[in-house]
């Protein structure tokens, strides 16, 4: 029996009962002969509540202090979980990200893991303990400051530890039975996938399917770590995510699923001189503010003015920072004005099969049109088509596309066991 890393998300440890239920599951894995490392998230919506609290004292909180605040959430759950396990008569020790050897760069609020040195975890395991690690956090290599890995980052902690400890599997326990063809909260007829390739999962995750964080899937793909996404509330087999199918795992048909995302906003830079270097200046300004953008669209310039508009999408949470940075660079870039729209949503269709099946794009647009949904921006990759629409249209659009591609399930397998969907 080898080493397993299990990660429990916030909805699985939302209250004392949840923590006790999870503790039993962990002890069962230990009793089955595994060495067990557990990565745990903050209880329920604790992280959101801490973010709200920070916003009440400062509109743009300092990154270092923000991270210090947010990591408190995971410290609470790790200590409680270790106590609950001890109460069941088994040895457990909790560790912060820093103590567990999660070393990151120093970009606060979205740090990247650059090394994992889990010496203390190994020692704890060798002494017969279950090791509990606070997810979503690390320590910066240069300044030794506490950092966080970005929302949903406990998934990445789990995979990074699984890689460093050479675990046989990384189990991600959540509030649904696995990865579905769409978010079960939006599509009650969503179908559970038995297996999904890391490539398709990566596209779904970066298109907003928050069941797994995209960085975690990236990491797992690079280090070839199989992930098993499953519910902490049921005993069902979940979804395996890996580079290649193993054993009885079967590849899904042309389309793996439909993702949606209402966490982005659109910035339009109005009246940009249509000459070389302008787009570079805009996006350098955004990059220097450590902001990742998603889609970009430049309109053709009006012949009379030689001015153009450039729109791009970015996380809403970076909206204020982006506007601030662009306003400061306004005179040097030389645009007229900025427009900010946070009432947008994105719908994406993902599947490696679309590379070789003509007509997928046409059917996607027809489904949206039949649902009366207007498209504002479009972007594609080899295995994904995404569109931006009004936020209010997103749920309807996801259901329409899901049905149009024959993904609706006949059974009621899309159970949501917990969480608030926040
Ligand atoms: P956790 O607290 O366990 O980290 P998350 O809320 O981050 O849980 O992720 C689980 C949620 O992801 C589900 O409750 C579901 O609403 C959402 N989700 C979005 N897309 C999918 C999908 N394709 N399959 C399963 N769940 C999805
Ligand atoms: N607690 C953090 C969040 O809510 C990290 C995580 O749950 O993965 O984003
Ligand atoms: Mg999550």
Average pLDDT over residues 279-304: 90
Please list every protein residue whose CB sits less than 6 Å from any atom of ligand 1: 9-12, 41, 152, 174-176, 179-180, 182-185, 209-211, 257, 416, 419, 421
Q: In angstroms, rounded to a whole number, what is the distance separating the alpha carbons of residues 412 and 336?
A: 53
How far, in Å, is the centroid of ligand 3 from the Cα of 96? 18
Residue 95: exposed, middle, or buried by beta-carbon count in 10 A (0-12, 13-18, 19+)? buried
pTM value is: 0.93
Judged by average pLDDT, the poorest of 156-165, 234-243, 252-261, 309-318 is 252-261
pLDDT computed for residue 420 by the predictor: 77
Give backbone dihedrals phi and psi of 106, rounded to 5 degrees, phi first. -110, 25
* Closest C-alpha to ligand 1, atom 1: 9
Sequence-distant (6+) residues with CB within 8 A of 127 are: 91
Q: In angstroms, rounded to a whole number, what is the distance separating the alpha carbons of residues 54 and 204?
A: 30
Expressed in angstroms, the distance from the first to the final Cα of the chain is 37
Q: Does 304 have pLDDT greater than 80?
A: no
Ligand 2 contact, 135 CB (< 6 A): yes
Residue 396 near residue 369 (C-beta atoms within 8 A)? no
Ligand 2 contact, 151 CB (< 6 A): yes
pLDDT tens digit sequence for 332-374: 999 999 999 999 999 999 998 888 888 899 999 999 999 999 9
pLDDT computed for residue 252 by the predictor: 66
Query: Alpha carbon 323 to chain centroid distance?
Result: 24
Query: Alpha carbon 331 to chain centroid distance?
Result: 36
CB atoms inside a 10 Å sphere around CB 257: 30
pLDDT tens digit sequence for 399-420: 999 999 999 999 888 899 987 7
How far, in Å, is the centroid of ligand 3 from the Cα of 176? 11
Average pLDDT over residues 227-247: 93
Give all domains of the chain, ordered by start, each with its CATH number. Answer: 3-248 (3.40.1160.10)
Ligand 2 contact, 153 CB (< 6 A): yes
Residue 231 near residue 173 (C-beta atoms within 8 A)? yes
Ligand 2 contact, 47 CB (< 6 A): yes
For all residues of the chain together, what is the average pLDDT?
Answer: 95
CB atoms inside a 10 Å sphere around CB 283: 15
pLDDT tens digit sequence for 176-235: 999 999 999 999 999 999 999 999 999 999 999 999 999 999 999 999 999 999 999 999
């Amino acid at each position: 029996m080898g080493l397993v890393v299990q990660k429990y998300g916030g909805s699985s440890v939302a209250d004392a009962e949840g923590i006790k239920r999870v503790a039993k599951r962990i002890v069962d894995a230990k009793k089955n002969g595994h060495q067990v490392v557990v990565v745990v998230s903050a209880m329920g919506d604790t992280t959101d509540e801490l973010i709200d609290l920070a916003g009440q004292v400062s509109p743009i909180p300092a990154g270092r202090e923000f991270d210090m605040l947010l990591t408190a959430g995971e410290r609470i759950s790790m200590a409680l979980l270790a106590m609950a396990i001890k109460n069941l008569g088994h040895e457990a020790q909790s560790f912060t990200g820093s103590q567990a050897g999660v070393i990151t760069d120093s970009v606060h609020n979205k740090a990247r893991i650059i090394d994992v040195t889990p010496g203390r975890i190994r020692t704890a395991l060798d002494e017969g303990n279950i090791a509990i690690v606070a997810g979503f956090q690390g320590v910066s290599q240069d300044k030794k400051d506490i950092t966080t890995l970005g929302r949903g980052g406990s998934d990445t902690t789990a995979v990074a530890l699984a890689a460093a400890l050479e675990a046989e599997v990384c189990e991600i326990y959540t509030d649904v039975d696995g990865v579905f063809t769409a978010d079960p909260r939006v599509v009650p007829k969503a179908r559970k996938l038995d297996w999904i390739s890391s490539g398709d999962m990566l596209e779904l995750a970066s298109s907003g399917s928050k069941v797994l964080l995209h960085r975690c899937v990236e990491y797992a793909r690079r280090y070839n770590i199989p992930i098993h996404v499953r519910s902490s509330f049921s005993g069902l087999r979940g979804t395996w995510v890996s580079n290649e199918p193993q054993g009885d795992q079967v590849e899904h048909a042309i389309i793996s699923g439909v993702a949606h995302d209402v966490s982005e906003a659109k910035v339009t830079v109005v009246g940009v001189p249509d000459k070389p270097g302008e787009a570079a200046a805009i996006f350098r300004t955004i990059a220097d503010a450590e902001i990742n953008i998603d889609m970009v669209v430049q309109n053709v310039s009006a012949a009379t003015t030689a001015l153009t508009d450039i729109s791009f999408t970015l996380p809403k949470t970076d909206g204020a920072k982006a506007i601030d940075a662009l306003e400061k660079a306004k005179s040097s870039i030389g645009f007229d004005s900025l427009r900010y729209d946070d009432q947008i949503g994105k719908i994406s269709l993902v599947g490696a099969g679309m590379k070789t099946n003509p007509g997928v794009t046409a059917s996607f647009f027809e489904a949206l049109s039949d649902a009366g949904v207007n498209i504002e921006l479009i972007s594609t990759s080899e295995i994904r088509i995404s569109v931006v629409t009004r936020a209010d249209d997103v749920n309807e659009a996801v259901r329409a596309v899901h049905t149009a591609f024959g993904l609706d399930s006949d059974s009621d397998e899309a159970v949501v066991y917990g969480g608030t969907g926040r």
